[in-house]
Structures are given as structure tokens and as C-alpha cells.
């Protein structure tokens, strides 16, 4: 059973991907211009990567929940159908 994801979920996924790419680009750009120590660079990368990983986990959980909800609705609809007599 395959349940299609809603366009709103796809839109949210696309916006998150674009946002994360822009965040990473700005991090790279800022580090190029700055004379920062190695420790500071790792902190900058952590501030850029940790939210990206958290969003991937949240979106994966959302997609899984949406699919389970769709499958559950589909099963309930089949169970509520009246068999022909």
C-alpha cells in the first residue's frame, strides 16, 4: 500500500532544503572572510549542521507519520465498506 504525500509536505520539504543550503552557503562565506581559529570554525559548522540534522529527523518522522495515517485511513475505509449480499 502506497500513500502519496500531500503537496504541502513536499513544499515544506523543499523549503527546508533550500533554507539549509542557504545557511551552509552563508557559513562558508563567513568563514572565508574571517581569520578565525580552528575551534571557532568547528563551532560555526556545529551551529550550521546540528539544525540541519534535527530537521532531517523531524521531516523523516513527519513523512512516516503521514504515511501511517494514510494507510490507517485506507484500511478503515475498506473495513467500513459493506459487503454485497
SS percent in the chain: helix, strand, coil, step 5 = 80, 0, 20
In a domain, 29, yes or no: yes
Q: Is residue 49 part of a domain?
A: yes
In a domain, 25, yes or no: yes
What residue numbers bound the domain in which 69 lies? 7-80
| Tens of pLDDT, residue by residue, the chain (85 residues) | 445 667 887 888 888 889 888 988 888 887 776 665 666 777 888 888 888 888 889 888 888 888 887 777 777 777 777 655 5
Residue 18's pLDDT is 92
Task: Give, in order, the Cα–Cα distances in Å from 13 to each of 27, 40, 70.
Answer: 21, 30, 18
Query: What whole-number distance in Å separates Cα of residue 66 and Cα of residue 2?
Result: 11
> pTM to 2 decimals?
0.61
Considering its fold, how many domains does the chain have in total?
A: 1
Question: Does the residue 2 lie in any domain?
Answer: no
Position 83 scores a pLDDT of 55
Domain contains 1: no
Amino acid at each position: 500500500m502506497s500513500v502519496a504525500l500531500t503537496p504541502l509536505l513536499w513544499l515544506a520539504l523543499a523549503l527546508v532544503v533550500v533554507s539549509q543550503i542557504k545557511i551552509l552557503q552563508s557559513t562558508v562565506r563567513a568563514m572565508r572572510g574571517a581569520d578565525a581559529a580552528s575551534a571557532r570554525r568547528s563551532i560555526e559548522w556545529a551551529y550550521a549542521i546540528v539544525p540541519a540534522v534535527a530537521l532531517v529527523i523531524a521531516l523523516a518522522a513527519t513523512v512516516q507519520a503521514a504515511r501511517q495515517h494514510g494507510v490507517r485511513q485506507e484500511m478503515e475505509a475498506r473495513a467500513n465498506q459493506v459487503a454485497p449480499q
